[in-house]
């Protein structure tokens, strides 16, 4: 027995306060996620109860081939931009893996990330495939971190611009005004701009957070991060817009998609399954017939989630086979 050990009650009293309160924050976080999921499920069921599924299937079958081909091209452009995230990570970490293999790993990681969640895709598969090709685990962690910053810096700039330009149409019952949303939009845009400026001007290049260190990239890399991510978010919304009737403005689709993405992130639901549909039905249900809207979202899921996942599965086995041959 350790003579210097304190009794349990005294030991608890000497623990840092953030450790004692951690279970409460965990409980509150789980409760918040549960409420978000429950609200999304309730909203979706309420909106779907009067949908004629025969009309949904008929709308899917009536899509012109040129519309489907255009949407698939936009999907391919989005995944190429995801590959650019990891190519920026390649430049940032100075690993020597080829650009083709780097982009292939990024494709597998993001296709699985969107369908199965970030633990499996963004982290797990990246770590396995990169290390199989000789990239160090520390470098993989930096690639994951840089990709995270890339994705959400672009979201903040684009989403802030959408709010600042008043592309979000609020229901009359909501008390928050467009002026407040414009202020929020400007603040959102300021964050990625500040990030690029910090990368250009900051004398301190290394930052340490909870045992992890982050090195600021060059200003050019940071600007490319924001530009690639902005373009990618815009292209993803473009896929949905291409599948909707022509009378729906692109700005409205973009604002709705960005809003749905935040709700899905808060709910921790891979791919925003159900959340995306619920938000779009709520926001655009008075403009577009529910069966038309659902047909567009089902086509979007098939093209943007399921088709890339199938291709990513085959690509994963090819990458594994090549890694074994490399020894």
Domain boundaries defined on the chain:
53-320
State how far the Cα of 303 lies from the Cα of 272, in Å rounded to an integer.
15
Tell me which range, 21-25, 130-134, 323-327, is most confidently predicted by mean pLDDT.
130-134
Q: What pLDDT is recorded for position 320?
A: 94
Residues whose CB is less than 8 angstroms from the CB of residue 163 and which lie 6 or more positions away in sequence, other chains included: 181, 182, 184, 185, 188
Q: What is the residue-averaged pLDDT of the chain?
A: 84
For the chain, how are helix, strand and coil distributed in percent, rounded to 5? 75, 0, 20
Res 94 pLDDT > 90: yes
Counting every residue written for the chain, the total comes to 327
In the structure, what pLDDT confidence band is assigned to residue 100 with cuts at 50, 70 and 90?
Answer: very high
- The token pair at 46 is 């309420």
Q: Which residues contact 208 (CB under 8 A, 6 or more apart)?
A: 214
The first and second tokens of residue 34, run together, are 């549960």
DSSP 62: T
Q: pTM value?
A: 0.83
Segment 189-212 mean pLDDT: 86
198, with CB counted inside 10 A (0-12, 13-18, 19+), is: middle
3 state SS of 206:
strand
Tell me the pLDDT tens digit for each residue of 256-301.
999 889 888 877 777 777 788 888 888 888 888 888 999 999 999 9
Question: Token match 């990625």: residue?
Answer: 192
Question: 149: closest CA among 221, 79, 201?
Answer: 221
d(CA 103, CA 127): 14
Q: Between the CA atoms of 104, 108, 109 and 114, what dihedral angle is there, to the nearest 10 degrees?
A: 140
Residues ≥6 apart with Cβ < 8 Å to 248: 241, 284, 287, 288
Reported as half-sphere exposure (CB side, CA atoms, 13 A), residue 148 has a value of: 13
For residue 133, give the nearest of 170, 102, 160 by alpha carbon: 102
Residues 51-63: tens digit of each pLDDT:
677 888 899 999 9
Token pair belonging to 323 = 């890694």
Calculate mean pLDDT across residues 18-33. Answer: 58
How far apart are alpha carbons 217 and 220 in whole angstroms?
8
């Amino acid at each position: 027995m350790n003579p210097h050990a304190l009794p349990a009650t005294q030991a608890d009293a000497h623990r840092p306060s953030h450790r004692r309160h951690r279970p409460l924050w965990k409980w509150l976080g789980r409760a918040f996620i549960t409420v978000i999921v429950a609200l999304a499920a309730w909203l979706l069921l309420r909106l779907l109860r009067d949908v004629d599924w025969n009309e949904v299937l008929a709308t899917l079958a009536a899509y012109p081939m040129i519309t489907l081909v255009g949407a698939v091209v936009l999907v391919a452009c989005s995944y190429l931009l995801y590959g650019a995230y990891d190519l920026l990570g390649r430049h940032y970490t100075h690993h020597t893996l080829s650009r083709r293999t780097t982009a292939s790993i990024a494709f597998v990681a993001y296709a699985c990330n969107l369908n199965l969640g970030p633990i499996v895709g963004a982290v797990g598969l990246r770590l396995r495939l990169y290390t199989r090709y000789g990239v160090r685990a520390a470098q993989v962690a930096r690639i994951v971190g840089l990709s995270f910053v890339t994705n959400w810096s672009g979201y903040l700039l684009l989403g802030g611009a959408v709010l600042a330009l008043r592309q979000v149409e609020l229901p009359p019952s909501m008390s928050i005004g467009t002026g407040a949303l414009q202020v929020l939009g400007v603040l959102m845009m300021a964050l990625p701009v500040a990030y690029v400026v910090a990368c250009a001007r900051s004398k301190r290049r290394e930052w340490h957070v909870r045992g992890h260190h982050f090195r600021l990239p060059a200003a050019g890399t940071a600007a490319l991060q924001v530009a690639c991510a902005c373009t990618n978010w815009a292209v993803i919304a473009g896929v949905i817009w291409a599948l909707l009737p022509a009378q729906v403005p692109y700005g409205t689709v973009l604002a709705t998609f960005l809003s749905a993405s935040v709700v899905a992130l808060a709910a921790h639901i891979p791919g925003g399954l159900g959340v995306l549909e619920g938000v779009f039905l709520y926001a655009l249900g008075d403009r577009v017939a529910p069966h038309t809207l659902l047909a567009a979202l089902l086509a979007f899921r098939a093209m943007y989630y399921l088709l890339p996942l199938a291709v990513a599965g085959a690509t994963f086995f090819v990458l594994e086979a090549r890694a074994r041959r490399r020894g």
